[in-house]
Structure formats: C-alpha cells, structure tokens
Amino acid sequence: MTEDVFQVNHRHVILTIDEGLRTLFLKHRDWFKPFRDEGVRLIKEYFEKKYKVTPGVIAGLHTFGSRLNFNPHIHMLVTMGGMGKNGEWKPAKDYIPFEMLRKQWQTVVLTMH
C-alpha cells in the first residue's frame, strides 16, 4: 500500500469566524457543513487557478476551542501541490497567501447569513 501513497508536503490551514458571528452559528447549526465545504472550495479554487491542479484536502470541523468555548473552526490538511488533468503530480512552489485567503474567507462567512 505504501507504494500507492504520494509522499508530499502539506500545510495545516485553520479557518475560523469572528467572535461576533458565533452566536449565529450556535443558533444555525445547519450552517456547519456549508461552512466546512466553503473552506475547502476556497483552497481548491486557489490551486486550480494558480497551478491548474486539484489539491488533496482533509477537512474537519471543530465546534469548540481549547478552552471549551464555542468556537467553530475548520482544520484542513492541504497538499502543497496537486494532480493535473493528465494525472501527474505538480508541486506548489509557495505558500497560500494569508491575506488573500483571509479576505476571501471573511467574504464567505459574511454572506452565509
């Protein structure tokens, strides 16, 4: 099985929401799946536009922080590269730009409600 697994660099990406919006998510728990799906979509779109590849993404939703406070956020493991349309692996040469991701994520969260 190990010969079927790619050994690739990856990054841990965490997306959260502003404290002021958390009470809305507490009342609308049906937003959790779209919240996670939108985070994955942003990452995939970045790699598809910049590198013309589909990255590997594992995403998990956490609803509470380390202090056991309600703090919905997404943890994602994202491959630094992806598969091209021809099925070949193409590595990414740089990090996902934080400012770009933050601005896009804020827009997503604000349009969810």
| CATH number of the domain residue 106 falls in | 3.30.70
Mean pLDDT of the chain: 88
- Place 22 in a pLDDT band, splitting at 50, 70 and 90: confident
As given in the structure block, the two tokens for residue 93 are 């040469």
Provide the 10 A C-beta neighbour count for residue 57: 18
Q: Give the Cα separation of 25 and 15 in Å (integer).
A: 14
- Place 25 in a pLDDT band, splitting at 50, 70 and 90: confident
Q: Which residue has the higher pLDDT, 31 or 53?
A: 53
The structural domain count of the chain equals 1
Q: Give the Cα separation of 4 and 23 in Å (integer).
A: 44
pLDDT at 80 over 70: yes
Contact of 32 with 39, CB cutoff 8 Å: no
pLDDT at 1: 47
